Structure 1
Amino acid sequence: MELFNNHKKLFLSALSLFIILTLIMAIMPALYNQEYNAILPNAAPPSDDAIKGKEVYIANGCVACHTQQVRNVDMDNVWGDRPSIAADYAANKRADLWRNTATLMGTERTGPDLTNIGKRQPSLMWHLLHLYQPRATVQKSIMPAYPWLFEEKKSIGKNDIEIILPDNFNNRTKRKIVATKEALQLVAYLQSLKQTELPDGSPTNSFLYKKIENKKPKELVDTSMPDGESLYANNCMSCHQANGEGLKGAFPPLKNSPVVLGDNLELFVTIIMQGYDPRPEYATMNAVGTDNNLTAEEVTAIINHERTSWGNNAKKVTIEQVKDIIEKLKLIPKK
């Protein structure tokens, strides 16, 4: 009880506990993630105008209606070339000491996702007109106009950029509509939003549940077993890559993996069927086998493909071995 009667000891004890918990729960994980999440090698750094434009984006509440995350489901393939990965956000920094606006992933998609808007709409004039009067570019748009990002002038200056309005939106004052510095910075930020291609010639990540046809000649396909290469492409390649090397800060490599090459087949099958919550430097893996209703034969084909590809040279497993493990785990997929 002496602790509660001595205000100095009580305060110092509470402060010490707060500092220890902050180190364990916040600072150490953040440093660990920073070390193991690398920027994609060919990612272009944003310009000064784009960085300032991000502040304009925040100030005008754009994140309330727009997301910047392409989910790994097929319905999101209109917003990006591939699903977003952790490495896409590794270059984002805090706005300042007090504001943590590093990523603007958003939670509501009232308007289109902007992950790849710099590629979908690269035109400066389109963006400026859309900001001044969205209905002039998209007839049924519900986006509010941002006229305060523009000025009305009697004459155009040397460095001014005029917005040419369609006839049905022409203003009555007959003055010139000119973009402010903030409007140009905001557009520079929007134009900088482009998905970076994966390095080393790796193919683009595919979206979940999107089937890839087997293009092998029929005479080369072993009809006694499912095609492990095709199954890997449909279920695993979007994360672990066609070369099996994964991506640092995003997905672990299968090439030279101790799990893939090891003798613990039960662990291997369990990861495929139940998913895996790995070390903090990698994203959580979903239950691919269960979610996609993979049979024991299909799981066996995937395992054997991974154990014999990219320089891996491990002994193949049998369907009976895998089936026994799935039955033991009571995870036989529903047909």
Structure 2
Amino acid sequence: MEFYNNHKVLFWTALVFFLFLTLQIAILPAFTNQTVYKPLPDAKPLTKDEAAGKAIYVENGCIACHTQQVREVEMDKVFGSRPSIPADYAQNHRMDVWRNTANLLGSERTGPDLTAIGERQPSSDWHLLHLYQPRAVVKESIMPSYSFLFEEKDYLQKGDIEVKVPPEFLKDKFKKIVPTRKALQLVAYLQSLKQTKLPEGVKPPDFLYKKEIKKTAGGGGAADLPDGGELYTANCASCHQASGEGLPGAFPPLKGSPIVASDDIDVYVNIIMGGYTGRPGYGPMPAVGKNANFTAEIVTAIMNHERSSWGNNAKPVKLEDVKAVMDKIK
């Protein structure tokens, strides 16, 4: 067999075969993908600060613990309203001839998926505090502190944003914690992570292995509502804490709150849906309900959970009353 005895023929045959496979398996499919997959119509490109924040995200190895891919399984439903599709990543382009732009899909979930963290947690105050000291907002967190992205100052200067850090997490309680530009850019990137809505009439892929959704009795037993405790944990506990006690100087308590206990639910519903900026000593609350497309059933379930937990003993609100307030908001 002359073929196996001639090293030149063997080498060039293997090289040509390798190049052919590379062309067929890697290069041509990549060109096809660029042609077929386009960004969704409502997809927004990253701003200058958001793009800089993405580079900081890569620089600090956040991809080691966080994914950005919602899989087609029911357990991933907490991370996005639908499974991820190729079009979600179609806005990424090469940085130059030599460098590609990572999709940051990740493969580990030591921390939660961040595909839609900008929707799940739109509060910049929360993100800044979480970066400075993760255990201030999530007691069990194993995420390292990124305090090097912040400065300690004796006095605030014009344009400074103070991070409201609980006293027990401060080395010097008289110091003011101020984010650097890098910290603000990283938060801007995290807040930009949202799932773009599919075009009207396009059905998203189904989540597989669906589990039974818990129901609780609605106000007066007239309707079945989602589980308010689960909804509170998913949407509210990161700021107001599982105990409902909030964080002093950062997020107000719901335990013993007169707004939560009030029979006049208009303000209560408006705060959940549209946010609130008027409480002295606390940062603005984002429009959690609006951002997450809360239905009247979700709002009612959360309100009833808050009104009956942590020693709160207010009477349940009725679904029809919440619907009436939400109709006025629209």
TM-score grouping bracket, smaller chain normalisation: 0.5 to 0.7
Deviation at 1:102, TM superposition (A): 2.4
Q: Which amino acid aligns with 1:190?
A: L
The change in CA–CA distance for 1:203 and 1:23 in structure 2 (over 3 A counts) is closer
- 2:104 aligns with 104
- 1:61 aligns with 61
- 2:170 aligns with 170
Deviation at 1:173, TM superposition (A): 6.4
TM-align CA RMSD: 2.8
**Contact (CA 8 Å) 1:95, 1:102: kept in 2 or not?**
no
Deviation at 1:46, TM superposition (A): 1.4
- 1:81 aligns with 81
State TM-score, norm by structure 2.
0.57
- Equivalent-residue separation in structure 1 for 2:7 and 2:145 (angstroms): 60
Deviations 1:103-137 (A, max 9, x none): 11111101111011000100111101100000111
Deviation at 1:10, TM superposition (A): 9.3
Deviations 1:111-164 (A, max 9, x none): 111011000100111101100000111111111100111112232222222212
The change in CA–CA distance for 1:97 and 1:181 in structure 2 (over 3 A counts) is farther
**Contact (CA 8 Å) 1:39, 1:88: kept in 2 or not?**
yes
- 2:26 aligns with 26
- 1:131 aligns with 131
* Local SS of the residue matching 1:182: helix
Q: Which amino acid aligns with 2:24?
A: I
Q: Which amino acid aligns with 2:26?
A: A
Deviation at 1:209, TM superposition (A): 3.4
- Equivalent-residue separation in structure 1 for 2:65 and 2:106 (angstroms): 8
Unaligned ranges ≥5, structure 1: 213-335
Deviations 1:151-203 (A, max 9, x none): 12232222222212112212326322111111111111101110111112545
**Contact (CA 8 Å) 1:81, 1:204: kept in 2 or not?**
no
Q: Kindly, what percent of the aligned residue pairs are identical? A: 60
Q: Which amino acid aligns with 1:132?
A: Y
- 1:252 aligns with none
**Contact (CA 8 Å) 2:167, 2:173: kept in 1 or not?**
no
Deviations 1:61-102 (A, max 9, x none): 100111111111111111110111111111122344444342
State TM-score, norm by structure 1.
0.56
- Equivalent-residue separation in structure 2 for 1:132 and 1:34 (angstroms): 39
**Contact (CA 8 Å) 2:82, 2:207: kept in 1 or not?**
yes
- 1:227 aligns with none
- Equivalent-residue separation in structure 2 for 1:198 and 1:85 (angstroms): 10
- Equivalent-residue separation in structure 2 for 1:195 and 1:37 (angstroms): 16
Deviations 1:252-277 (A, max 9, x none): xxxxxxxxxxxxxxxxxxxxxxxxxx
51-60 vs 84-93, which moves further? 84-93
- Equivalent-residue separation in structure 2 for 1:119 and 1:30 (angstroms): 31
- Equivalent-residue separation in structure 2 for 1:203 and 1:18 (angstroms): 40
The change in CA–CA distance for 1:18 and 1:74 in structure 2 (over 3 A counts) is closer
Q: Which amino acid aligns with 1:153?
A: K
- 2:52 aligns with 52
The change in CA–CA distance for 1:155 and 1:211 in structure 2 (over 3 A counts) is closer
Structural mapping, 1:289-308, within 5 Å: none
* Local SS of the residue matching 2:78: coil
**Contact (CA 8 Å) 1:150, 1:177: kept in 2 or not?**
yes
Deviation at 1:13, TM superposition (A): 7.5
* Local SS of the residue matching 1:77: helix
The change in CA–CA distance for 1:11 and 1:181 in structure 2 (over 3 A counts) is farther
Structural mapping, 1:185-334, within 5 Å: 185-202=185-202, 205-210=205-210
Q: Which amino acid aligns with 1:130?
A: H
- Equivalent-residue separation in structure 2 for 1:189 and 1:36 (angstroms): 27
Aligned residues: 211
Unaligned ranges ≥5, structure 2: 213-330
The change in CA–CA distance for 1:176 and 1:102 in structure 2 (over 3 A counts) is same
- 1:121 aligns with 121
- Equivalent-residue separation in structure 2 for 1:28 and 1:121 (angstroms): 39
- Equivalent-residue separation in structure 2 for 1:146 and 1:79 (angstroms): 23
- Equivalent-residue separation in structure 1 for 2:16 and 2:203 (angstroms): 50
